[in-house]
């Protein structure tokens, strides 16, 4: 039996760091979501119903629009293609997409079509009513020809395609099949967020992303256990030619099932406020991960963490790359930080996520060529000053420039692995320059720690940290030792804020 290991935090964060390079073509049902909040204090004198006193209203994009919004908020480019109405809801969707910076050339507004909208009324964060305005009908011949024309034009610049089917008509009557055939001909991956029981209309897609209930409906019986999920997914793969199935399983996480292998990814325990739009976030993040070269399991790990974030938010939610990075660190449990050898871009995202959570971030740096008790004491002292500690590590070339041709004794990979295994270190970033100034400028830590043989004026990056509102901490040295021979006694150096 082959033992499968979960993707490393480093590989996951590298994938997220590449999201900005991806372009995703999104086709499907664009919906306007309205949220009306208020309070209920009395019963209507006209009928035995509560009276909602409005206290505010917001509008956002739902359906395929929420997929687009998630792609953009994760740092990538989304290209929407669909047909909506020439009504107030349709105008609102076009405006919102343009505000996101999305190209709306492929979003046709037709007089004979009604834009779907859903209005949710809530009192004290509890939904009391949902009011839907929509007309479900397939595309007319002219609408269909226009959509396919826009799709072909946009496909040339897309890395991957998402079909977001909310059952409002855009993908009915063989439109989905036509688009999938075009993708296959062009060699493009196409993911489908399905609707209904008949998955034959998605035949040939790279993957579908049903939830557990939808998966059961598609095969005609309820599915719960791991083996039932796998059997149902493989039944659909066999029947419709999918490469694989990604089944979301609510609090149990996610399953990625192919013809011969299956992986089950556990979710994090999290308080659920609202599941509205969680599927949109999952397929958006999954598609982005695939688009930048992640394999199925890596992509599912990223998407699983993304879904866990948005269910903890209210309303049709989306997330940022920083929130996703933070969720991935939490999802890998107590050993995650020990494995976190990151590049500068990933580290900057991680630091931003930590700060969003209200955590203080410290930074120290050095060659750490032959690790000894002085190093460990320095790192322990540095970690005691902050909630998270990032260690900047000189690369092999940088060490040679500083210490001569015979150094380092241990290469940067070995040094990074040993340091990342220390409980006091939350992330290790290797830098090529002779000093960590560029890295400090990128991370902007709250606390910069060095040995007491420095003064604040001679600490590289001190002015950068202080200007950003951070402080410098100098560690007292053991008599006769270098900065690597330290004890845990600390003193604050110079002007600290």
Q: Residue 389 belongs to what H/E stretch?
A: strand 388-394
Rg (CA), the chain: 26
Between CA 293 and CA 11 the distance in angstroms is 11
Strands 254-257 and 244-248: antiparallel
Strands 50-63 and 30-43: antiparallel
Contact 374/364 with Cβ under 8 angstroms? no
For CA atoms 178, 179, 180, 184, the dihedral sign is: positive
Nearest to 488 by CA among 415, 360, 391, 385: 385
Active-site residue identified among 165, 193, 280, 396: 280
Between CA 28 and CA 479 the distance in angstroms is 70
Contact 326/353 with Cβ under 8 angstroms? yes
What Å distances lie between residue 162 and 277, 283, 381, 462, CA to CA? Answer: 15, 8, 49, 47
Q: Which residue has the tokens 């490393």?
A: 8
Between CA 399 and CA 406 the distance in angstroms is 10
Contact 213/200 with Cβ under 8 angstroms? no
Between CA 247 and CA 229 the distance in angstroms is 8
Strand stretches in 147-302, DSSP E: 160-164, 189-193, 207-208, 244-248, 254-257, 262-265
CA dihedral 129→130→131→135, nearest 10 degrees, is -150
Q: Which residue has the tokens 């420039």?
A: 401
Full strand arrangement of the beta sheet holding 471-477:
341-342, 427-431, 388-394, 361-366, 447-451, 471-477, 486-492
Q: Which residue has the tokens 């996951």?
A: 12
For CA atoms 326, 332, 338, 343, the dihedral sign is: negative
Give the count of beta carbons closer than 10 Å to the beta carbon of residue 469. 10
Question: Annotated catalytic, 91?
Answer: no
Give the count of beta carbons closer than 10 Å to the beta carbon of residue 453. 14
Report helix, strand or coil for 439: helix
Query: What are the phi and psi torsion angles at 67 (to 5°)?
Result: -60, -45
What Å distances lie between residue 142 and 14, 54, 110, 149, CA to CA? Answer: 44, 42, 10, 11
Helix spans in 86-155 (H): 88-100, 141-155
**Which residues are designated catalytic?**
280
């Amino acid at each position: 039996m082959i033992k499968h290991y979960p993707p490393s935090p480093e590989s996951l964060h590298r994938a997220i760091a590449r999201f900005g390079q991806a372009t995703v073509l999104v086709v499907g049902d664009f919906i306007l979501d309205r949220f009306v909040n208020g309070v209920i204090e009395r019963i209507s004198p006209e009928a035995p119903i509560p009276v909602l006193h409005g206290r505010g209203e917001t509008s956002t994009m739902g359906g395929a629009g929420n997929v687009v919004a998630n792609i953009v908020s994760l740092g990538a480019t989304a290209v929407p293609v669909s047909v909506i109405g020439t009504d107030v809801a349709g105008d609102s969707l076009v405006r919102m997409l343009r505000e996101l910076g999305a190209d709306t050339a492929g979003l046709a507004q037709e007089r004979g079509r009604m834009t779907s909208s859903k209005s949710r009324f809530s009192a004290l964060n509890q939904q009391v009513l949902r009011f839907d305005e929509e007309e479900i009908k397939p595309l007319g011949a002219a609408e269909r020809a226009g959509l396919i024309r826009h799709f072909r034009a946009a496909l040339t610049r897309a890395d991957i395609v998402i079909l977001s089917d909310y059952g409002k008509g855009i993908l009915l009557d063989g439109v989905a099949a036509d688009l999938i055939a075009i993708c296959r001909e062009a060699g493009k991956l196409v993911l489908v967020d399905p609707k209904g029981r008949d998955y034959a209309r998605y035949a040939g897609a790279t993957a579908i992303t049903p939830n557990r209930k939808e998966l059961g409906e598609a095969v005609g019986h309820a599915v719960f256990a791991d083996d039932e999920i796998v059997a149902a997914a493989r039944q659909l793969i066999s029947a419709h030619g999918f490469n694989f199935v990604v089944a979301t399983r609510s609090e149990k996480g996610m399953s990625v099932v192919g013809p011969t292998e299956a992986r089950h990814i556990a979710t994090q325990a999290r308080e659920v406020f609202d599941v509205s739009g969680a599927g949109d976030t999952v397929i958006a993040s999954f598609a982005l991960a695939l688009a930048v070269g992640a394999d199925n399991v890596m992509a599912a790990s990223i998407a699983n963490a993304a879904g866990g974030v948005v269910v903890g938010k209210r309303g049709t939610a989306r997330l940022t790359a920083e929130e996703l990075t933070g969720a991935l660190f939490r999802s890998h449990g107590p050993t995650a930080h020990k494995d976190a050898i990151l590049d500068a871009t990933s580290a900057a995202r991680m630091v931003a996520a930590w700060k969003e959570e209200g955590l203080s971030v410290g930074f120290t740096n050095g060659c750490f060529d032959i690790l000894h008790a002085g190093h460990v004491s320095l790192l322990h002292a540095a970690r005691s000053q902050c909630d998270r500690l990032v260690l900047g590590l000189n690369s092999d070339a940088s060490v040679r420039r500083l210490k001569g041709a015979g150094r380092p004794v241990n290469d940067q990979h070995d040094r990074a692995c040993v340091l990342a295994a220390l409980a006091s270190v939350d992330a290790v970033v290797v830098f090529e320059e002779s000093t960590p100034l560029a890295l400090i400028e990128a991370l902007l830590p709250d606390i910069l720690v060095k040995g007491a043989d420095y003064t604040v004026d001679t600490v590289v990056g001190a002015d950068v940290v202080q200007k950003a509102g951070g402080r410098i901490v100098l560690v007292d040295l053991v008599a006769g030792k270098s900065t690597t021979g330290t004890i845990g006694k600390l003193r604050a150096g110079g002007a600290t804020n």
